[in-house]
Amino acid sequence: MPENRAAATKQSDAPTNNPKLLAWVEEMAKLTQPDRIVWCDGSEEEKQRLTKDAVDKGILIPLSPEKRPGCYLHRSDPNDVARTEHLTFVCTRTKEASGPNNNWMDPKEAYAKLGKLFEGSMKGRTMYVIPYLMGPAGSPFSKVGIELTDSIYVVLNMRIMTRMGRVALDTLGDTSGDFNRGLHCTLDLDPEKRFICHFPEDNTIWSIGSGYGGNALLGKKCLALRIASFLGREEGWLAEHMLILGAEDPQGKKHYVVAAFPSACGKTNFAMMVPPPALKGWKITTIGDDISWLRIGKDGRLWAVNPENGYFGVAPGTNKKTNPNAMACVERDAIFTNVAMTKDGDVWWEGMDGQPPAELTDWRGNPWTPESKTPAAHPNSRFTAPMRNNPILDETADDSEGVPISAIIFGGRRATTVPLVMQSFNWAHGVYLGATMGSETTAAAVGQAGVVRRDPMAMLPFCGYDMGDYFGHWLKIQARLAEPPPIFLVNWFRKGPDGKFLWPGFGENMRVLAWVLARAAGSVGASETPLGLVPRPGDLDTEGLGLTPEQVKQATSIDLAEWGTELESQGELFTKLERTLPAAIRLERELLIARIKN
């Protein structure tokens, strides 16, 4: 054994006396055999040191200090650019507990199989110990995680995405064993040896063979959604794939809304939207752009906390028009992954402002010109940016209790059928609308993009237990709410016969949000259809929108024939979840089918 390995396992420099934490790190170090163990403190000095190390090793490429101060580019292995849902497992003791929505492995088998891969996996490498906190410091809802990783890229991204270092160790204290045990190793990035395994009953995550976002930044999808949704069911709360925004109305009253959309369907844009001139009396602020932890407050209202500290947003399509606030977020201190680089050390991606530069280096590091046949940036290229860079960050972003929610929105990416906006008749019908949501797949996960799949509540890849039980959990929440927020279904992506989007989206979605909040406040009526409540003609503010009344009608209309097909196609999901599907959800569907057939 090299001298330094012996020194490493002693952990004399560990900044904690917590015996449970020390013992676990020791055990994992024995398994993975790193040459060195480095405990991360989250300090600026550490960031500078690790960044320099990453640059020296070619893991990060410095960008122009004038154009992008403090920013770096990372190029992933081309095999490792999106979440791999088929290699993601929920390893509950029984297969039933994980549900038909998850891949399952027996925990014993998973520990053994991955244990073999982890054995000696950090030889010649450094093991970084990342203590991190999901949720604001001092919040009773926050969770401590420890991620052990061999990747400096992961450390530097976790530093942006979570509250990392001392604050997490202080929250954990000297004796508690209540922390998520995350073990991560990039190994050789071979997809054949890639597994992302969750052990919800052990509050443990083992991820191997990938350095990519949701596979490797364990605080995000693995802890804050898969493990947290499991804990939420046990503890009576919800972990959701939802943005949280604040909307101050022209009278100065503040409302908060959560909205679930699948990956790469515009959550970051909606959370940072700039209202159009016609609605300039409104002011939007961001609390979170991806994940929401929802609890029932003492006042019987639903309260939301964003467990994250930064944004891991999709780069392509982001520009000064579609999302000026995101563009401000990435002006400094951001990490870009798989975008293109300009000659003068700036970044570029498809859909950025202006014409494509005449020459670029593409996301793989090859020369690129506008004539090239492949995109310059990977369609799932990302930016990691501190939330404190956001010019419209909500003042409550660090509040330990979170914010009270006035409305819940579910939305998919659908070219047909689903109207611009529809309100559910009641909570159970709203849960049904979320549960049966369909969406076209995107580049955020490996596999074919553009295929409509059921993505219940945008949680298909992220629910850490049986999806039927999850719907049941949602239904049960209502009884504990004094004021259940109204639930809405939206669709910004409907297309006309010409194949073009019917609705301009982005900031114009403020018009839909204004209606949603007016409905929540009870200050506007609605038209009742067999499927839900929709705006009456004239209710939606379309001033200055530049659409004809016919176009607005097309975007908002409900075609019962299309919905007949839609309800039929939900049958597959219902069959899959048959064992645990709550009767209330099944009956909602039957009721709708019966009504449509009438």
Binding residues (CB under 5 A) for Mn ion: these are 263, 290
The number of angstroms, rounded, from the C-alpha of 416 to the middle of its chain's C-alpha atoms is 25
Of 197, 265, 329, 463, which is the active-site residue?
265
Binding site for ligand SAT (CB under 6 A): 83, 213-214, 220-221, 263, 312, 444
Phi, psi angle pair for 383, to nearest 5°: -120, 140
Considering beta carbons, is residue 101 or 556 the nearer one to ligand SAT? 101
83 binds, among Mn ion, ligand SAT, none (CB under 5 to 8 A by kind): ligand SAT
486 binds, among ligand SAT, Mn ion, none (CB under 5 to 8 A by kind): none
Q: How far is the CB of 213 from Mn ion (least distance, A)?
A: 9
Q: How far is the CB of 382 from ligand SAT (least distance, A)?
A: 7
Strand, helix or coil for residue 303? strand
Q: How far is the CB of 216 from ligand SAT (least distance, A)?
A: 9
Q: How far is the CB of 408 from Mn ion (least distance, A)?
A: 17
Considering beta carbons, is residue 33 or 381 the nearer one to ligand SAT? 381
* β-strand partners of 258: 244, 408
| CA pair distance 508, 501, nearest whole angstrom | 13
444 binds, among Mn ion, ligand SAT, none (CB under 5 to 8 A by kind): ligand SAT
Q: How far is the CB of 75 from ligand SAT (least distance, A)?
A: 16
Considering beta carbons, is residue 260 or 512 the nearer one to ligand SAT? 260
Phi, psi angle pair for 258, to nearest 5°: -110, 150
Nearest to 424 by CA among 380, 486, 476, 372: 486
511 binds, among ligand SAT, Mn ion, none (CB under 5 to 8 A by kind): none
99 binds, among ligand SAT, Mn ion, none (CB under 5 to 8 A by kind): none
Q: How far is the CB of 263 from Mn ion (least distance, A)?
A: 4
Residues 6+ apart with CB under 8 A from 98: 90, 91, 92, 104, 464, 465, 466
Respond yes or no: is residue 265 known to be catalytic: yes
Neighbour-count burial for 30-68, b at 16+ CB within 10 Å, e otherwise: ebbbbbbbbbbebeeebbeebbeebeeeebbbebeeeeb
Neighbour-count burial for 570-598, b at 16+ CB within 10 Å, e otherwise: beebbeebeebbbeebbebbeebbeeeee
Neighbour-count burial for 154-186, b at 16+ CB within 10 Å, e otherwise: bbbbbbbbbbbbebbbebbeeeeeebbbbbbbb
| CA pair distance 343, 583, nearest whole angstrom | 60
* β-strand partners of 84: none
Considering beta carbons, is residue 267 or 519 the nearer one to ligand SAT? 267
179 binds, among Mn ion, ligand SAT, none (CB under 5 to 8 A by kind): none
Considering beta carbons, is residue 51 or 263 the nearer one to Mn ion? 263
Considering beta carbons, is residue 85 or 290 the nearer one to Mn ion? 290
Catalytic residues: 265
